Structure formats: C-alpha cells, structure tokens
Amino acid sequence: MIGIIGAMDMEVDGLKEKMSSVTVESIGGSAFYQGVLCGVPCVVARCGEGKVNAAMCAQTMALQFQTSILINIGVAGGIGKGVCVGDLVISNGLVQHDFDLSDLGYQKGLITNLEKAVIPATPMLTSLTAHVAREVYDGNVHIGIIATGDQFIASRDKLLDIHSTFHAMACEMEGAAIAQVCLLNQIDFVVIRAISDNADEKADVSFEQFAPMAAQKSIDLMLKLIPAINTQRGISL
Ligand code: ADE
C-alpha cells in the first residue's frame, strides 16, 4: 500500500477524484481515502498544515493501513539559488529548521534521539521520482534538502538563514515530520514539492496566485510516479 499525504485539499483532491473502489475512514481528525489509484492500492489523506498534523497522519497510515511507502506532496517556498515558482524540488533529505537545541551545544536541527538533523529520503524513490519528473515535466527539476517548520516563511532574512544553515532548496511545513515517522517505522518515503513562492516578503501574494497551479503539478507527477513505482518494485505493495 502506498500512502500519499498533502496538507491542503488542493494538494490531494485531484488524486482522490482519480481513485476507484474507495472507502473512507476518519481517524484523528483526518479522512483517509483507501482505494486504487492508477491500478495500485493507495491511501490518500489531507493532514492539515504543520508538523503535528503531519506526524499524526503518517503514523496512522503506518499503523492502520500498513503503508510500505509514504509520499508527501504539495507546494513549498523556493529558497535555493535558481529555484523558481513552478519548479519541482524532490527531496534527498528532510530537516526541521525550527528544531533547535543549539543552546545546549547541539547542532541546529539535530534530533537527539535520531542522532541526525537531516533524515535521508529513500534513494530509490528520490531517483525514480526525478527520472519520471524529467520525462513528464516542462520545468526545472531539483533534487535537494527540504526544510520543514511550523511557520510560513515570508522573510528574506529567515530564508537566507534556513538556506545557509541547512543548505535547503525549499521550505514547507510537514515533510520532515513525515520523514521522522517513516524513519522510526522503517517506511520508505520521498517528499515532492512544487514551488508556489520564494519565501520572501512577497510570498503571501505569490502563494495566493500560484499555489493551485503548483499543487496541480505535484498531482500530475504523482499520476505518473505511482505506476512507475509499482513497475520498479515488481512486488505487491
Ligand atoms: N508552503 C508554500 N510556501 C511556503 C512558505 N513560504 N513557507 C512555508 N511553507 C510553505
């Protein structure tokens, strides 16, 4: 079973519409749509914004739906050099930019019980997603670190700080929480984000204007990626 999580309706509604044999179950504040997507058993949920919502949803997918792969899709602020609105960023690692024990002598972002700051995405999923994206997508496709925090970033100072501290290419509000749940439950995962804004002082206006277009791009990619994962794995999901 593949689990797909988006924070907002616009990030998952287009997938729910394409599912067949759907059953819906509400758990912990999220509705889980289980069914078949592109011939593959999947469960799709909108988790709501932020790390707590995302972690709850991912853990439910692990326990209740026995997902072997989790994919987090949606929009993000672009913070890397040359990362523009409409581009795709595919994670090779996730970090919580607002997790900070530095006053206790730890590296910023370091999660002590995991002994790491950056949680690597599953390499096979990162490379397969990039491969599929480059075949079907007419914008730039970047592979890099995605930084997560419980804030909408709309300040040049903050975005430069996140970029220089974590070498991140994009910022959003759920990915690293899902990554942590996946690591702790031995679930393969990747985070795929389409850029809706540049996380600067104009981010709110850009988000309003471009988020629906960016969300649709990540949905379109998923509809190509799901069958590709199924073929690649060659085993039942
Ligand atoms: N999602 C889309 N744009 C974002 C931003 N600028 N900050 C955090 N999450 C986002």
Name the residue with the closest Cα to ligand 1, atom 1.
Answer: 76
Domain that holds residue 179: 2-219
Confirm whether 188 is domain-assigned: yes
* Residue in this structure with the two tokens 């011939």, named with its chain if needed: 39
Q: Evaluate: CB of 75 within 6 angstroms of ligand 1.
A: yes
**What is the sign, positive or negative, of the torsion defined by CA atoms of 22, 31, 121, 194?**
positive
Mean residue pLDDT across the chain = 96
Q: What is the pLDDT of residue 237?
A: 44
CA 70 to chain centre: 9
227 assigned to some structural domain: no
Q: Where residue 236 falls among pLDDT bands split at 50, 70, 90?
A: very low
Whether the CB-CB separation of 129 and 221 falls below 8 Å is answered with yes
| 25 within a domain of the structure (yes/no) | yes
Asked if residue 229 is part of any domain, the answer here is no
User: What pLDDT was estimated at residue 70?
Assistant: 98
Domain count for the chain: 1
Please name the residue that has the structure tokens 């903050």: 158
103 in a structural domain: yes
Question: 169 by DSSP, 3-state: which?
Answer: strand
- Which residue out of 8, 51, 53, 75 has the highest number of ligand 1 atoms within 8 Å of its CB and is therefore the one to mutate? 75
Q: How far apart are CA 145 and CA 170, in angstroms?
A: 7
Q: Is residue 226 part of a domain?
A: no
230 falls within a domain? no
Domain membership flag for residue 232: no
Catalytically annotated residue among 11, 174, 188, 200: 11
Q: Which atom of ligand 1 is nearest to the CA of 172?
A: 9
> 């809706």: which residue's tokens?
196
| pLDDT tens digit sequence for 19-63 | 999 999 999 999 999 999 999 999 999 999 999 999 999 999 999
CATH number for the domain including 35?
A: 3.40.50.1580
